């Protein structure tokens, strides 16, 4: 029923305002957002999901999969900087990074800014997302795919971590929400394979939803990682295109020193990164692990 409502809303609005709208469907009819589409750059259906890339006056170019906003040109820096620099700088000696998902290319681009990184593997299930973003959102991958350190594998992330005998220093799970192909990336089974694919002092970080409206995902993934990692927590940042306030990033590792990396070391190691930051600072890194009470209360298990 909600599909029809959303389609009707978009149609009626289009008729009245003579403009095209994207109606987000993540929360069904409970809550959502609509974004004016001043231009549709790509629209298609892969064997996994609906893909649309459109232009919006506030967010710039926007990618949505199965009518859920994934990333936009104008706010992607927050999400990609926090999910790469936080674990890589906390670890302090990252040579190999594994990205699960990340089809828009932003995570790969951001990780490769670290000169210390010798190899970055990105395992994305949907090649159509990679190609559509390469063509229509080139500012996300920029020249990441031409970087000799990068390897892009089109496949299911769980198959990769299950079968690889390679060990990584950081694993970044840059997936869709736990619906459709993304669901498996939030399970105990997946985290157990990730544990095996990490070096002893390795860190896994995850896209972990918006605690205000996706608390179940927060709690369940916390429980699912707790069995395998000594240090298991979240850090936060506001990603403007994700309705509901702070977004949570999962953090799990046996490297219990990583969380206590000093501000001085973070400031010093910033010099090993190409280019400039637009969100991440060492102070933001440290403070992002301070959770407001409404999130702490959801984790009182």
Cβ atoms of residues 248 and 209 within 8 Å: yes
Please, what is the minimum distance in Å from the beta carbon of residue 71 to ligand SAM?
A: 5
Minimum distance between the CB of residue 170 and ligand SAM, rounded to whole angstroms?
17
Q: Quick one: DSSP state of residue 241?
A: T
DSSP 8-state secondary structure symbol assigned to residue 278: S
The two tokens of residue 132 are: 């559509």
177 belongs to the catalytic site: no
Q: Which is nearer to ligand SAM, 32 or 102 (CB)?
A: 102
CA distance 197 to 78: 27
Tokens of 35: 């974004």
Q: Which is closer to ligand SAM, CB of 65 or CB of 203?
A: 65
Q: Closer CB to ligand SAM, residue 208 or residue 253?
A: 208
Instruction: Give 87 or 181: the residue with its C-beta nearer to ligand SAM.
Output: 181
Choice among 174, 177, 216, 231 that is catalytic = 174
Residues with Cβ < 8 Å from 69, sequence gap 6 or more?
A: 22, 24, 26, 33, 35, 62, 63, 241, 242
Q: DSSP letters of 23-81?
A: E--TBTTTB--EEEESEEEEEEE-SS-EEEEEEETTTEEEEEETTEEEEETTTHHHHHH
Contact residues: ligand SAM, CB under 6 A:
48, 65, 70-71, 79, 100-104, 123-126, 129, 156-158, 174-176, 181-182, 184-185, 207
Which residues are tagged catalytic?
174
């Amino acid at each position: 029923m909600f599909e029809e409502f959303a389609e009707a809303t978009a149609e009626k609005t289009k008729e009245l305002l003579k403009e095209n709208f994207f109606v987000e469907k993540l929360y069904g009819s409970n809550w959502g957002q609509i974004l004016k589409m001043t231009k549709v750059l790509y629209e298609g259906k892969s064997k996994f999901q609906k893909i649309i890339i459109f232009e919006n006056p506030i967010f710039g170019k926007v990618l949505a999969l199965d009518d859920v906003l994934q990333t936009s040109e104008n706010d992607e820096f927050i999400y990609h900087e926090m999910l790469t620099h936080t674990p890589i700088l906390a670890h302090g000696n990252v040579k190999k990074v594994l990205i699960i998902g990340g089809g828009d290319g932003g995570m790969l681009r951001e990780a490769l800014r670290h000169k210390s990184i010798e190899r970055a593997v990105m395992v994305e299930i949907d090649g159509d997302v990679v190609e559509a973003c390469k063509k229509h959102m080139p500012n996300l991958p920029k020249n990441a795919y031409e970087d000799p350190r990068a390897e892009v594998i089109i496949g299911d992330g769980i198959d990769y971590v299950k079968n690889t005998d390679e060990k990584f220093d950081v694993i970044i799970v840059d997936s869709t929400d736990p619906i459709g192909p993304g669901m498996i990336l939030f399970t105990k089974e997946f985290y157990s394979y990730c544990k095996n694919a990490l070096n002893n002092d390795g860190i896994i970080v995850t896209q972990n939803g918006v605690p205000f409206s996706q608390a179940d995902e927060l709690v369940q993934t916390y429980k699912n990682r707790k069995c395998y990692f000594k240090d298991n927590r979240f850090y936060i940042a506001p990603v403007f295109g994700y309705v509901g306030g702070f977004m949570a990033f999962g953090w799990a590792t046996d490297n219990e020193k990583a969380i206590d990396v000093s501000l001085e070391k973070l400031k010093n190691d910033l010099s090993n990164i190409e280019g400039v930051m637009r969100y991440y600072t060492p102070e933001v890194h440290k403070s992002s692990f301070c959770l407001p009470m409404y999130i702490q209360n959801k984790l009182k298990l």
